[in-house]
Amino acid sequence: EPGNFQANFSGPVSVSEALQRSLNVPAVDLLDRIGPRRFASQLRSGGLRLRLPAGGEPNLSIILGGAGTTLEELVGAFRALAAKGMGGVPRLDPAAPRVENRMMSEGAAFIVRDILESGGHPDRPFVEEGGRRIAWKTGTSFGFRDAWAIGVSGNYTVGVWIGRPDGTPNPGFFGANIAAPLLKDIVAALPAGNQPARNKPASVSTSQICWPLGTGAESTPAALCPHKRSAWILNNTIPPTLPDRASERSLRETIWVEPVSGLRTTPACTHTAVKREIARWPSYLEPWISPADLKAQSPAWLPACRHDEADSGGRITLQGVATGAQIRPAPGQPTARLDLRAAGASGNLYWLLDGKLLHSSPAGTEERIEIYENGEHVVTVMDTQGRYASARFVAKGFLPQ
């Protein structure tokens, strides 16, 4: 299972945020839906060849650096962001022929460049002399063998690679802390020159979209649009939220509610029941959704009309700690131990503490989690069907380190 470089999970994020922060999980999920072969073919047609092990085929690892390339080709590919989507081969001789390939559309290049001009640090953007921002991206290969950074402006595309020719690891060398500072110094030393005009392509516009459905706000009923976000739109197309991997249910569904209380019911139980359309978050995101949003998407049942909830796949129950509990370490022990189980779960279980994945274990087994410090904590368990349970508790009695 992929994990993020920061070793925790962020819940629902926009594509812009995922790209700026180099979040692995959204990248792997998207590539799995697009297809690794299709993605690798698109890169190759744009001039960026991926080097795979002998006999290897494109797979999900390529989105996390599981394939090789050259800094020269990487710079040529990133050039597309400032060249209306056309990648190219860097020329070492002005007399050399110009080689260009279509890496992406002009509109896509404009949008990606705008996203990367924040570079994961909107408060600390790279700014070229004259006030123009630099679109930049960093990367770190498996085992800390390569640290790289690429910067793109209207006049320049700059690539920095730091590593050892024999591939020996450099622990602690990340693209962000080693290559990016050098990139910034190089950009600052380059002559400013006249910046080429940068006009928004006709294929690009902005629009308000709705979360969780991902649909346009203008065409979505207010009841199905609890959160509005501003987004770039390409070719007047607003892609909706991708289908829920953990459930066959639609993200937009109709339920029956009792009109006065708003609680869920059925026509057979309540003759005054009315239909209500709801917007659901994808199941895997539910542990990070606010209680208010969860209540809105799935109202509680009327006690007298409680359904068996088979349509939701049932619920799992976290046993061993409850919300509101206070725990302390046993006398003489440096940690407090929680022995937990998930009743009603199936498949593999994923245990998270404060948003960080701790362990994976088969359903039906007991999981021991150790708490090391004072304060509020949240433990969450999720099974392979996307069902989850969580508890928020307070730890006390730990001695300062």
Alpha helices in 143-191 (DSSP H): 180-189
What does DSSP say about strands 326-327 and 388-395: parallel, antiparallel, or unpaired? parallel
The pLDDT value recorded for residue 309 is 45
Q: What is the mean pLDDT of the chain?
A: 87
Query: What's the Cα-to-Cα distance from 71 to each of 3, 27, 75, 295, rounded to whole Å?
Result: 26, 22, 6, 50
Of all residues in the chain, the percent with pLDDT exceeding 90 is 46
Mean pLDDT, range 93-111, rounded to an integer: 95
Indicate if the pLDDT at residue 310 is higher than 60.
no
The pLDDT value recorded for residue 42 is 94
Superfamily, domain 15-189: DD-peptidase/beta-lactamase superfamily (3.40.710.10)
SS3 per-residue string spanning 83-119:
CCCEEECCCCCCCCCCCEEECCCHHHHHHHHHHHCCC
State pTM to two decimals. Answer: 0.77
Element (H or E) spanning 286, and its range?
none
pLDDT tens, position by position, 12-50: 999 899 998 888 889 999 999 999 999 999 999 999 999
pLDDT tens, position by position, 163-198: 998 889 888 888 889 999 999 999 888 887 777 778
Mean pLDDT, range 285-311, rounded to an integer: 75
Helix%, strand%, coil% for the chain, nearest 5: 25, 25, 50
**Cis omega (within 30 of 0) for bond into 12:** no
Instruction: Return the ∠ at Cα 65 (arms to 64 and 69), rounded to 5°.
Output: 150
More confident residue, 352 or 133: 352
Mean pLDDT, range 144-152, rounded to an integer: 91
Mean pLDDT, range 289-301, rounded to an integer: 82
Mean pLDDT, range 89-112, rounded to an integer: 94
Confidence of residue 128 (pLDDT cuts 50, 70, 90): low
Are 117 and 135 in contact, with CB atoms under 8 Å apart?
A: yes
Determine the 3-state secondary structure of 178 from DSSP: helix
User: Where do the domains of the chain lie?
Assistant: 15-189, 203-241, 246-312, 317-395
The CATH architecture of the domain made up of 317-395 is Sandwich (2.60)
The pLDDT value recorded for residue 142 is 76
Range in 297-301, 379-383, 389-393 with the lowest mean pLDDT: 297-301
